[in-house]
Structure 1
Amino acid sequence: MVREGYFALDKKKNEVEVEYKNEDEPKAKSQEDIDRGIELILEKKDELISFNEPLAFIFSHSALREGWDNPNVFTLCTLKNGSSEIAKKQEIGRGLRLPVDVTGNRCLDRNVNELTVIANDSYENFSRMLQEDFNKNMNKNEVTSDLLLVTLEKAGIPKIKITSELVDEFKKELIEKKVMDSNNVLLKNGEEEIKEIQFSNETLQEHSIQITENFVKYMVEKGTNRIEIANGDNEPIINKQRSFISEKEFKNLFEELGTNLSKKAIYKCKIDNEKYIKSSIEKINSYISNFDLKQVVELTEAKGNYDDTGKFNTEKYGNKEIEFSKIEVATKSDFEIANYIMYHTMLPRLAILKIISGLEKEKREALNIQDVLENVTEILLENLNEMKAEKVFEYEVIDGYVTDTEKIFEVDNKINEEDFENKRRLFQAKKGSRSLNDYYKLDSDGEKEFAEKLENDENVLLFTKLKKGGFVIDTPYGNYSPDWAIIYKNSSENSENNVGIYFIVETKADKEEKDLTSVEKSKIKCGKLHFEAISKEVKFNWVNNYDDFRRKFEIK
Structure 2
Amino acid sequence: MGYDLSVKLYEELKQNGYIDKHSMVTSELKKAIENYDLRLSSEFQPWLPAIVKEIKRHLQALPIKDGTKKKKVHVNMAVLNQEKFRQLWDKIKYKTVYSVDFDSEQLIDLCIAAIQEMKPIEKIRIVSRKGRVEIDHVTGVQAQVVSEKVEDYVSLHHTLPDVITELQNRTNLTRKTIVCILTGCKRLDDFKNNPQKFIEEVANIIQRQMRLLLKDGVKYYKIGDDAYYAVELFQNEELLAYLNDNAIPSEKSPFDHILYDSDVEERFAKRFEHDENVKVYVKLPSWFKIDTPIGSYNPDWALVIEKDGEEKLYFVLETKGQETGMGGRTASR
Q: Which TM-score applies when normalising by structure 2?
A: 0.65
Which position in structure 1 is the counterpart of 2:39?
A: 197
Aligned with 1:185 (options 25, 31, 44): 25
How far apart, in 1, do the equivalents of 2:165 and 2:318 lie? 40
How far residue 374 of structure 1 moved from its aligned partner, in angstroms, is 2.0
Contact between 1:241 and 1:438, CA under 8 Å: does it hold in 2? yes
Distance in 2 of aligned mates of 1:491 and 1:409: 32
User: Is 2:94 aligned against 1:263?
Assistant: yes
> Are 1:215 and 2:215 matched, yes or no?
no
| The one of 206, 214, 222 aligned to 1:384 | 206
Whether 1:397 aligns to 2:221 is yes
Matched to 1:351, the amino acid is T
User: Which residue pairs with 2:240 in the alignment?
Assistant: 414
1:382-441 C-alpha deviation (Å, 9 max, x unpaired)? 33223212312144034144334344576674235xx15x7x962265xxxx66433334
C-alpha distance in 2, partners of 1:263/1:221? 41
Output one character per residue of 1:504-553: Cα deviation in whole Å (capped at 9) or x when no partner: 475999xxxxx9966557x42xx22xxx4xxxxxxxxxxxxxxxxxxxxx
1:301-450 paired onto structure 2 within 5 Å: 301-303=130-132, 315-321=143-149, 323=151, 327-330=154-157, 336-355=162-181, 364=188, 367=191, 369=192, 372-391=194-213, 392-393=215-216, 394-400=218-224, 401-407=227-233, 413-416=239-242, 419=243, 426-427=248-249, 429=251, 436-441=254-259, 443-444=265-266, 447-448=269-270, 450=272
- Distance, in Å, in 2 between the alignment partners of 1:468 and 1:214 is 29
CA distance in structure 2 between the aligned counterparts of 1:446 and 1:340, rounded to whole angstroms = 35
Q: How does 1:384-533 map to 2 (within 5 A)?
A: 384-391=206-213, 392-393=215-216, 394-400=218-224, 401-407=227-233, 413-416=239-242, 419=243, 426-427=248-249, 429=251, 436-441=254-259, 443-444=265-266, 447-448=269-270, 450-452=272-274, 454=276, 460=279, 463-467=280-284, 469=286, 471=288, 479-483=297-301, 485-486=303-304, 503-504=313-314, 506=316, 523-524=329-330, 527-528=331-332, 532=333
Once residues 150 and 268 of structure 2 are traced to their aligned partners in structure 1, the CA distance between those partners, rounded to angstroms, is 50
1:189 to partner: Cα distance: 0.2
Describe the superposition over 1:231-274 as per-residue Cα deviations: whole angstroms up to 9, x where unpaired.
Answer: 4xx9x84532345468xxx4555444333232234666555444
What SS does the corresponding residue of 1:396 show, helix, strand or coil? strand
Q: How many residues align?
A: 317
Q: Given that residues 425 and 448 in structure 1 are in contact (C-alpha distance below 8 angstroms), is that contact kept between their aligned partners in structure 2?
A: no
Q: CA RMSD in A?
A: 5.2
Compare the two structures and name the one with the higher strand fraction.
2
Query: Whole-Å Cα distance in 2 between the matches of residues 277 and 487 of structure 1?
Result: 37
**Contact 1:262-1:402 at 8 Å conserved across structures:** yes
Q: Secondary structure in 2 aligned to 1:195?
A: coil
Counterpart for residue 241 of structure 1: 75
Structure 2 Cα separation of the partners of residues 506 and 240 of structure 1: 23
Q: Which amino acid aligns with 1:338?
A: I
User: Residue 188 of structure 1 aligns to a residue in which SS?
Assistant: helix
Q: Is the 8 A contact 1:238 1:415 kept in 2?
A: yes
Q: Which runs of 5+ in 2 are unaligned?
A: none
Work out whether residues 298 and 321 of structure 1, in 8 Å CA contact, stay in contact via their aligned partners in 2.
yes
**Partner SS, residue 30 of structure 2:** coil
Q: Tell me if structure 2 keeps the 8 A contact 1:412–1:440.
A: no
Mapped partners of 2:181, 2:289: distance in 1? 34
1:323 CA drift (Å): 4.0
Q: How far apart are the structure 1 equivalents of 2:316 and 2:150?
A: 50
Q: Report matched runs for 1:134-173 at 5 Å.
A: 162-173=1-12
**Sequence identity, in percent?**
13
Q: Distance in 2 between matches of 1:450 and 1:272?
A: 37
User: What runs of 5+ residues in structure 1 fail to find an aligned partner?
Assistant: 1-161, 493-500, 510-514, 533-556
2-structure distance, mates of 1:376, 1:516: 17
**Contact 1:242/1:437 (<8 A) preserved:** yes
| Inter-CA distance 341–251: structure 2 relative to 1 (3 Å threshold) | closer
Contact 1:426–1:440, Cα closer than 8 Å, also in 2: yes
CA contact (8 A) 1:191 1:216 kept: no
**Structure number with higher relative contact order (C-alpha < 8 Å, ≥ 6 residues apart):** 2
Give 2:221's aligned amino acid. V
**Pair 386,425 (structure 1): closer, same or farther in 2 beyond 3 Å:** closer
CA distance in 2, matches of 1:377, 1:268: 28
